[in-house]
Amino acid sequence: MISTLRAALARLALFLLAFSLGLLSNAQQPVPEPQPPQEEATRVPSTSKKLILTDGTFQLVREYERRGDRVRYYSVERSQWEELPVELVDWEATLQAEREAERRREEIRKRIEEIRQEELARSIHVDASIEVGPGLFLPDSAGMYVVLDGQILALGQSPVEMQLDKGRLLTQILVPVPVIPTRHRVQLPGARAAVRLRHGQPEFYFRTADDRTPEIELVRARIKGDRREVQTINTFVTGDQIEQRDTLLLQRWPVAPRVYRFTLGQSLEPGEYVILELIPQKGISVFVWDFGVDRPPASPQAGKTP
């Protein structure tokens, strides 16, 4: 019993000795000196400016301030604060440079805003909310549409054919030297278009599939047997070409992004018509929109004598 008590007291004494030595060791360790607070990055503005000196050189700085006869500035080149005498700074040139830099920044801001507005306009999805008449809305798919008498019709596209004039071809065969000019006829198969309109003054709406500005012509076709002739192309021995077609004036009006309205200055006479799209530096598109205008029905009283 006594031996057990002595062993416990010995262990307690060793523990107290180790604990006291630990405290002494910690007390003898040097206390680290407090570090000066780091300068906050927000103190330095994000834009730089020129501090122009009297000798014509300049310091590129983030900011500067006058302190008595000294100028304190933050150097962009060396990323630290520096000082120089006030009399070494050309203050008039420095202020002029700041005004010029602000003017350029304002121009850049305006241009960025213009680009943003342009991109926003391109991204706008134009759907069937375009009203082309009372309760009449333009479909949201690309294509050519005709509006007349409270109705809207989609015009289908048809491929044109080019045919060499047979009479000119025979003359060229008989004459060995190719001095006879050639003539090609641009035609559509069939004497009548599938889409029929009544006599009147329609309007046309073209919704494009891209951002191009369409060049459109309305042409009155001539009936040649079972075909509709759109135009003739005469090619001379010099290589020059003359295109001949019966074109009616159309006025183009932008309605919305990728949507254009075309109006006529006159009513359409009965006949067959074709809408062409002109491709810059290439001529007309090989696909056209066609329709026909029918004669108005005769009045029941027509031909009766009183």
Six-digit token pair at 40? 């906050």
Longest dimension (CA), the chain: 155
| pLDDT the model gives residue 159 | 87
Buried b or exposed e, range 41-56, using 16+ CB within 10 angstroms: eeebeeeebbbbeeee
Fill in the amino acid letter for 152: I
| pLDDT the model gives residue 270 | 93
Q: In 3D, which of 160, 150, 142, 60 has the Cα closest to residue 101?
A: 60
DSSP classification of residue 200: B
Q: In 3D, which of 143, 151, 290, 141 has the Cα closest to residue 228?
A: 290
Per-residue pLDDT of the chain (306 residues; tens, 9 = 90+): 444 545 555 555 555 444 444 433 443 444 344 443 333 332 334 468 889 999 999 999 989 998 899 999 998 889 899 999 999 999 999 999 899 988 988 999 888 988 877 776 665 554 556 888 888 899 988 999 999 888 899 998 888 887 766 544 433 333 344 444 566 788 889 999 999 998 778 999 999 989 899 999 999 999 989 999 988 776 655 556 677 888 898 999 999 999 999 999 888 999 999 999 988 777 777 789 999 999 887 766 655 555
Burial class of 108 by CB neighbour count within 10 A (0 to 12, 13 to 18, 19+)? exposed
| pLDDT the model gives residue 241 | 67
What are the angstrom distances between the C-alpha of 254 and each of 119, 157, 261, 294? 18, 22, 6, 29
C-alpha angle with apex 234: 229 to 238, nearest 5 degrees? 165
Total residues belonging to the chain: 306
Six-digit token pair at 195? 């889409």
Q: In 3D, which of 270, 274, 268 has the Cα closest to residue 294?
A: 270
| pLDDT the model gives residue 15 | 52
What are the angstrom distances between the C-alpha of 169 and each of 161, 222, 225, 291, 303? 17, 22, 20, 31, 49
